[in-house]
A and B are shown apart, each in its own frame.
Chain A
Amino acid sequence: MLMSTVTGCKPVKLALASGKGGTGKTTLSTALALSARGPVWLLDCDVEEPNCHIFIQPESQRTVPVPVPVPVIDDTKCTGCGACGEICQFNAIVPLGKKTLVFPELCHSCGGCARVCPSGAITEQDIIVGTLEISTRDHVTFVKGQLDVGRAMSGPVIKAVKQFASDDHVTVIDCPPGTSCPMIAAVSGVDFVLLVTEPTPFGLHDLRLAVETVRTLGLPFGVAINRSDAGDDRVETYCRDEDIAVMVRIPEDRRIAEAYSNGNVLTAAVPEYIPVLQRLIADIQDRVTGRQP
């Protein structure tokens, strides 16, 4: 315990991800943030359906819009040369004779069209695609990203939330489920990924996909097994065979389920987990700094 006290303030960017949804990412993220010693940043990057705020119940909110640049065509300057349509990989800009159409919802804001336009007909203008909410509770600085309804691309909002990651303290990032673009945007550049899973065939199937993803990204990672005494032992066997560290096991506990259903954080219902989670943060910090515990 002494070492974790000493290492409690060491900066680390920790992402909680999973293949399968509903394994306990938010439960563990919020519990880790509230258990941490010293200041901690909690970033809700599940911007299509953020829910950490339900458990954190933060105060003193301020909101910041998330803009992305999209092209706007000056028809008087456009010669219809088609260069913009050729460079766009997402079919977001469509030259049709002298008229060029823009579909902002398909645009990935790369700026390529404006760059290649030989007649200077394309400028970029910001559209708002989401909102950040910045708030606090006790030692936790909490940032929630929320993608606007009707927007298809969550990447810009996820990246905007991650701008708030701390270089001086512990940052806990609650990621979206799955292994597609939003999850990759959320885990990219972190120091460590904790893959939260459950001991079921579905849990194992999606854990394999998540492991493949973080290995491809070259990120250090470990596994957290939630409801660890339910289901079967295939997740444990898989982790042993693949030489993957199981960092924490949380057995099924009715008190945790009841707390979750009431919008309460895990540590409020089972405070005996606070030292366990402090130890988990210290273990991860040790792994990140190269000192294997």
Chain B
Amino acid sequence: MKIALTTSGNDMSAALDSRFGRAARFLMYDTDSDSFTVIDNAQNLNAPQGAGIQSARLVSDAGAEAVITGHCGPKAFQVLKQAGIAIYQTSAPTVQAALDLFKKNEMQELTDADVNSHWL
């Protein structure tokens, strides 16, 4: 199973980025092989609008089945749900800390967007 974690860094010890749509990068962690790759999200970080939507497409195309992040807005939520991706919210400081919580089943799945749209 592939999990997309939002991060501002490049490895497991890096900080978890609390933003989803405008996260700097996605660390794609594979639970089967216990390995990861990093996807750059600069294009969406700097998008004038629709960053959450495109970030959701990006992780969907990368094969993610779950997302771990700090917050998720309504449009990103809608796209992730449609793509069948589970969204987990955490305030864990690092990628590793977030994964540890996930593996211990101590993370809550988001059932709705937890922050408002930037448009309204």
**What residues of chain B lie closer than 8 Å to A168, measured between beta carbons?**
none
Residues on the B chain within 8 Å of A110, using CB? none
Given contacts A94-B57, A105-B119, A152-B119, contact A99 B82 (CB under 8 A): yes
CA distance A8 to B39 in the complex (A): 65
Report whether A103 and B75 are in contact in the complex, using a CB–CB cutoff of 8 Å: yes
Of residues 83 through 106 on chain A, the ones whose CB sits less than 8 Å from some CB of chain B are: 85, 90-92, 94, 96-97, 99, 101, 103, 105-106
Considering the complex, give the chain A residue whose CB is closest to the CB of B52.
Answer: A91
Q: Give the chain A neighbours of B57 by CB distance below 8 A.
A: 85, 94, 96
Cβ of B120: which chain A residues have Cβ within 8 Å of it? 150
B: number of interface residues (CB 8 Å): 16
Nearest CB in chain B to that of A99: its residue: B82
User: Nearest Cβ in chain B — how far from A105, in angstroms?
Assistant: 6
Q: Which residue of chain A has its CB nearest to the CB of B50?
A: A91
Contact B82–A103 (Cβ < 8 Å): no
Which among A99, A106, A150 is the interface contact of B49 at CB below 8 angstroms?
A106
B53 and A103 form a contact (CB under 8 A): yes
A91 touches B119 (CB 8 A): no
A105 / chain B contacts, CB cutoff of 8 Å? 117, 119
Question: If the complex has contacts A94-B53, A94-B57, A96-B57, are A101 and B79 also in contact, measured as CB distance less than 8 A?
Answer: yes
Interface string of A68-90 (1 = CB under 8 A from B): 00000000000000000100001
Q: Total A-B pairs in contact (CB under 8 Å)?
A: 34
Q: Is B41 part of the binding interface, using a Cβ–Cβ cutoff of 8 Å?
A: no
* Contact assessment for A92 and B50 in the assembled complex, using a CB-CB cutoff below 8 Å: yes
Q: How large is the interface on A (under 10, 10 to 19, 20 to 34, 35 or more residues)?
A: 10 to 19
Looking at the assembled complex, report how far the CB atom of B116 sits from the nearest CB atom of chain A, in whole angstroms. 12
Interface-centre pick from A90, A92, A103, A105 (highest chain B CB count, 10 A)? A103
Whether, in the assembled complex, B83 has its beta carbon less than 8 Å from a beta carbon of chain A, the answer is yes
Q: Which residues of A contact B54 (CB under 8 A)?
A: 91
Q: Is B60 an interface residue (CB 8 A)?
A: yes
- Which residues of chain A are within 8 angstroms of B82 by Cβ–Cβ distance? 96, 99, 101
**Smallest CB separation, B4 vs chain A (Å):** 15
Contact with A along B25-36 (1 / 0, CB 8 A): 000000000000
* CB neighbours of B78 from chain A (8 A): 101
* B47 sits at the interface (CB 8 A): yes
Give B118's nearest chain A residue, CB to CB.
A152
CB A233 to nearest CB in B, in angstroms, measures: 39
Q: Which of A111-157 contact B (CB under 8 A)?
A: 150, 152
Asked if residues A103 and B83 are in contact (CB atoms below 8 Å), the reply is: no
Query: In the complex, how many angstroms separate the beta carbon of B56 from the nearest chain A beta carbon?
Result: 8
Q: Taking the nearest CB of chain B, how far is it from the CB of A28, in angstroms?
A: 32
Residues from chain B with Cβ under 8 Å of A96 in the complex: 57, 60, 79, 82-83
Q: How far is the CA of A150 from the CA of B118 in the complex (A)?
A: 11
Contact with A along B105-120 (1 / 0, CB 8 A): 0000000000001011
Q: Which residues of B contact A (CB under 8 A)?
A: 47, 49-51, 53-54, 57, 60, 75, 78-79, 82-83, 117, 119-120
Query: Measuring CB to CB, which residues of chain A are less than 8 angstroms from any residue of chain B?
Result: 85, 90-92, 94, 96-97, 99, 101, 103, 105-106, 150, 152
A-B contact pairs, 15 of them (CB 8 A): A90-B50, A91-B47, A91-B53, A91-B54, A94-B53, A94-B79, A96-B57, A99-B82, A101-B82, A103-B53, A103-B75, A105-B117, A106-B49, A106-B119, A150-B120
Q: Which 7 A-B pairs have the closest CB atoms?
A: A91-B50, A152-B119, A91-B53, A96-B82, A96-B83, A91-B54, A106-B50
Name 12 extra pairs, CB < 8 A, besides A85-B57, A106-B49, A152-B119: A90-B49, A90-B50, A91-B49, A91-B54, A94-B53, A94-B57, A96-B60, A96-B82, A99-B82, A101-B79, A103-B50, A103-B53
